[in-house]
Copies of this chain bind each other. A is one copy, B any other.
């Protein structure tokens, strides 16, 4: 979107618009995290946001669009958080550990975000297994894991495992964390993150 397309009152409209959208997305996150995706309706989101239901329809093309934006928003924030945390370790092994711990750290830092999105992603499979909301949204994460694995295998740090299999196992283990946390708020995510890092380090590294 070019700024001149924003047209007449660019700044004002887009500021208001961005604020409203962000507010609605936040309320959607809270509502889903609290009630579960299946129990969440636009009316409840609107109520939490203190606006009328029409506002949501005004700013989003529909429920699916809102949900897709929720997912995109959380994934984007998560990626940024994780990228900063991971930094640029020298080895693939270090990177993988850092990636796992950073992923869990994001969940610990924003449990509602994570819970909402996992709720959506896991609930929202549709015809023939496709994800319902923007299947591309997790691509960056999948690509990141793939790159780490390829790097490690290329460098001889990692053994010759099937990357897709590892990727699935890792993503699922990460995505389970919000559910576990929601089910038992006393779960220590630090421990979970460290244990997971150790687990996947051993699973991937070359025999000594």
Q: A interface vs B, CB < 8 Å?
A: 34-39, 115, 119, 122-132, 161-162, 165-166, 168-169, 171-173, 175-176, 179-184, 191-192, 195-196, 198-200, 202-203, 207-208
Q: Is the CB of B165 within 8 A of A127?
A: no
Beta-carbon contact of B162 and A168 below 8 Å:
no
How many copies are assembled?
4
List 19 extra interface pairs beyond A129-B183, A169-B169, CB under 8 A. A34-B128, A35-B126, A35-B127, A37-B38, A38-B124, A39-B127, A115-B129, A122-B125, A129-B180, A129-B182, A161-B199, A162-B191, A162-B192, A165-B191, A165-B195, A168-B173, A168-B192, A172-B172, A200-B203
Asked whether A125 lies within 8 Å of B119 as measured between CB atoms, the reply is: yes
A130: chain B residues within 8 A (beta carbon): 183
Instruction: Contact check, A126 vs B39: say whether CB atoms are below 8 A apart.
Output: yes
The answer on a CB contact under 8 Å between A123 and B34 is no
Bound CA–CA A115/B127 (angstroms): 11
Task: List 12 A-B residue pairs with CB atoms under 8 Å apart, sorted by A's residue number.
Answer: A36-B126, A38-B123, A38-B124, A115-B129, A122-B123, A125-B182, A161-B195, A161-B198, A165-B192, A169-B176, A171-B176, A207-B208
